[in-house]
Amino acid sequence: SRAAPAMLASPITRYGFRDAKPINFGRGASPRHLAVHGVDVSRWQGDVNWNKLRAQGANFAYIKATDGGDHLDPLFMKNWRNADAAGLKRGAYHFFYWCRTAGEQADWFIRNVPRVEGALPPVIDVEWNGDSSCKRRPSRATVLEKMQVFMDKLERHYGQRPIIYTAPDFYRDNLRGAFPDYPFWLRAVAQHPSKVYPGRKWLFWQYSGSGLSHGVRGRIDLNVFHGDERAWRAWAGGSRQMVADAD
């Protein structure tokens, strides 16, 4: 599970996406000021042309792998292989269900996501499951306990500390002040993360859900790494302990 050396990282492709609903994040706060952009995908993007995504500015991709304890995204392995073949750094994410045990979910992810040298750390996607059959909203204490069980199991298996992806409402209810030693990937599509998640250090910012690319039909989520090209090469090459500053 050791990461590939930084010198093997692919050249950085500059931002070339369009956005169906562009946002003015304020002076100096635009994600375009950051060097390393990427995407996240699932079955809903259909057949992805990874070479076109790469050419338009996708340097990394997080790929939907699993939900709960028994669902595998049907396009996961195809996307996993093809993203790598196109030269993107790739990682996998799991959508957490509050109606299944954390151990079951960790085992299901581990069963389906290869432990591959050079892959990005796994991601736990924590949101309220309002669009699924699982409507349960456990207490903050239970949420944190379940997340810790899941993340510990993944860290032992992959040798990498998982990244926490979340959205504003779930963060407000459960994660303020929690997990200071874990990297965060924050959804903030209307304001800069510093305004939506004050004081929280972050590693990735999902800044748009309305990106447009020649590589997919429809819209795609756009993300950016919190750092310059040198920081990206250090982190993607194995320096996993970095947790970016809150600003």
The residues annotated with a catalytic role in the active site are 127
Burial category of 104 from C-beta neighbours within 10 Å (exposed 0-12, middle 13-18, buried 19 and up): middle
Q: Which residues contact 105 (CB under 8 A, 6 or more apart)?
A: 66, 68, 69, 94, 96, 97, 150
Chain-centroid distance of CA 71 in Å reads 19
| DSSP string across 23-74 | ----TT--GGGSS-EEEEE-GGG-S--HHHHHHHT--EEEEEEEETTTEE-T
Give the Cα separation of 57 and 128 in Å (integer). Answer: 31
| DSSP string across 92-155 | EEEE--TTS-HHHHHHHHHHHS---TTPPPPEEEE---TTSS------HHHHHHHHHHHHHHHH
